[in-house]
């Protein structure tokens, strides 16, 4: 347990993570462990307002970054540092580690001599893993633990976070009857998005086997796909426009299994301890981006000499065929879902 002197060294910690959605969704694991060890320390999360529901149930406050308005540009970041000082923050843990967050830390130091630490992302060790996807390779440190390390470098002492336990949350879709599964085939990048011909077949197979299928998506073409599936199968529901972030997480807590890519939904499932089949293409779970606390039984990936080809999945496929994704067939995916459901 932390000593009394370390407990009282800092009284108000600011934790900075502005984006991306999945990365912010990993932060509650870290803060849960921190607040268990240091319940008396005030914690403020600097993030975007739409992401606040991710922290439901945690004793944290928020400072919302208005990067398109009040906090836009260099002058806006200087004002943001002033806002931080006005809150009485006396330590900053920057778990984002980008130019904007580094600038805020520098300005906060200039305005109030506020000490800070920034995340160590392990870029070099990840670079050395490019094109090496041996299934028995030792996983790199998880992002959740890297977040914790950043806070610990300020002098706090607490254990690595434990995996989440199943919470009791309301069901935004009403009373559950039968077996419910979710399907989230999309991501921000093509190398992490399940190809369209295959995702049609996954929905068909899931709809045949289970009582309700929920499709998680964004807007635009993603929503159009989900709505087309909803119109095709009576037991399929397109979630876009029906639930917001907090309700989507609550729904996932009631699912028997969710099929997802390396994306936000995977991390939402980890927050509520829902069994997950995760499909990996350009990226690799050993980089520390998998759903926190999830075992390997739900991970689906193909060992190829070209993968991982990108840390974050943003690079286009060099061969142009996305073999890493097409090699994972719909039949394989649904079989894995069945296995996980039987284990519960």
**SS3 at position 321:** coil
- Domain parsing of the chain, residue ranges: 4-152, 180-343
Cβ-based neighbours of 113, under 8 Å, separated by 6 or more: none
Q: What is the pLDDT of residue 5?
A: 37
180: number of CA atoms within 13 Å, CB side? 15
Pick the CATH number of 4-152 from 3.30.70.380, 3.40.80.10, 3.40.50.970, 3.40.50.2000: 3.40.50.2000
What is the Rg, in whole angstroms, of the alpha carbon atoms belonging to the chain?
Answer: 21
pLDDT given at position 136? 53
State residue 8's pLDDT score.
54
Residue 117 tokens, joined: 């630490």
What is residue 173's predicted lDDT score, i.e. its pLDDT?
Answer: 97
pLDDT attached to residue 1: 46
Alpha helix stretches (DSSP H) within the chain: 4-9, 21-37, 73-87, 99-112, 123-127, 143-152, 196-209, 221-232, 245-252, 264-271, 323-326, 330-343
4-152 and 180-343: same fold? yes
Query: 84: Cβ–Cβ under 8 A, 6 or more apart, which residues?
Result: 14, 46, 63, 92, 104, 108, 111, 112, 114
pLDDT digits (tens, 9 = 90+) for 287-325: 999 999 999 999 999 989 899 898 888 889 999 999 999
Reported as a single tens digit per residue, the pLDDT across 261-296 is 999 999 999 999 999 999 999 999 989 999 999 999
**Which residues does the chain have with pLDDT short of 50?**
1-6
* Distance spanning both ends of the chain, measured CA to CA: 35
**How many of the other CB atoms lie within 10 Å of CB of 88?**
11
What is the spatial distance between Cα 239 and Cα 255, in angstroms, rounded to a whole number?
Answer: 14
Query: DSSP label at 155?
Result: T
Looking at residue 47, the DSSP 8-state letter turns out to be: E
Q: Is the distance from CB of 101 to CB of 109 less than 8 angstroms?
A: no
d(CA 146, CA 60): 20
Whether 308 contacts 133, CB under 8 Å: yes
Peptide bond into 308 cis (omega under 30): yes
C-alpha to C-alpha distances, 257 to 9, 36, 162, 213, 244, nearest whole angstrom: 43, 29, 21, 10, 20
77: which 2 tokens?
A: 């970041």
Phi–psi pair at 258, nearest 5 degrees: -130, 135
81 by DSSP, 3-state: which? helix
| Fold classified for 180-343 | Rossmann fold (3.40.50)
DSSP conformational letter for 19: -
Torsion angles phi and psi, residue 294, rounded to 5: -80, 140
């Amino acid at each position: 347990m932390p000593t009394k002197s370390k407990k009282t060294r800092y009284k108000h910690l600011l934790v900075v993570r502005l984006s991306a959605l999945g990365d912010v969704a990993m932060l509650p694991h870290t803060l849960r462990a921190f607040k268990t060890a240091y319940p008396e320390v005030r914690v403020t999360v600097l993030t975007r307002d739409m992401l606040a529901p991710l922290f439901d149930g945690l004793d944290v406050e928020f400072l919302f970054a208005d990067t398109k308005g009040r906090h836009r540009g260099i002058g806006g970041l200087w004002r943001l540092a002033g806002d931080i000082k006005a809150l009485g923050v006396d330590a900053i843990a920057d778990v984002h580690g980008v130019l904007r967050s580094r600038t805020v830390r520098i300005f906060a130091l200039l305005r109030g001599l506020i000490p800070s630490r920034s995340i160590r992302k392990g870029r070099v060790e990840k670079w050395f893993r490019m094109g090496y996807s041996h299934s028995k390779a030792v996983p790199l440190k998880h992002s959740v633990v890297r977040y914790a390390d950043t806070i610990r470098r300020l002098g706090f002492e607490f254990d690595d976070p434990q995996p989440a336990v199943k919470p009791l949350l309301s069901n935004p879709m009403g009373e559950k009857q039968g077996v419910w599964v979710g399907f989230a085939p999309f991501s921000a990048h093509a190398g992490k998005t399940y190809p369209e011909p295959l995702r049609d077949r996954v929905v068909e197979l899931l709809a045949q086997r289970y009582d309700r299928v929920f499709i998680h998506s964004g807007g635009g073409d993603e929503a159009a796909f989900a709505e087309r599936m909803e119109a095709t199968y009576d037991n399929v529901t397109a979630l876009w426009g029906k639930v917001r972030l907090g309700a989507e997480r609550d729904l996932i807590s009631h699912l028997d299994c969710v099929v997802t890519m390396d994306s936000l939904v995977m991390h939402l499932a980890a927050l509520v301890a829902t069994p997950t089949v995760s499909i990996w293409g350009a990226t690799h779970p050993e980089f520390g981006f998998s759903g926190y606390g999830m075992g390997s039984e739900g991970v689906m990936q193909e060992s190829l000499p070209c993968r991982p080809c990108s840390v974050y999945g943003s690079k286009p496929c060099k061969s142009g065929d996305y073999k890493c994704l097409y090699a994972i067939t719909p039949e394989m995916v649904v079989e894995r879902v069945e296995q996980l459901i039987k284990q519960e």
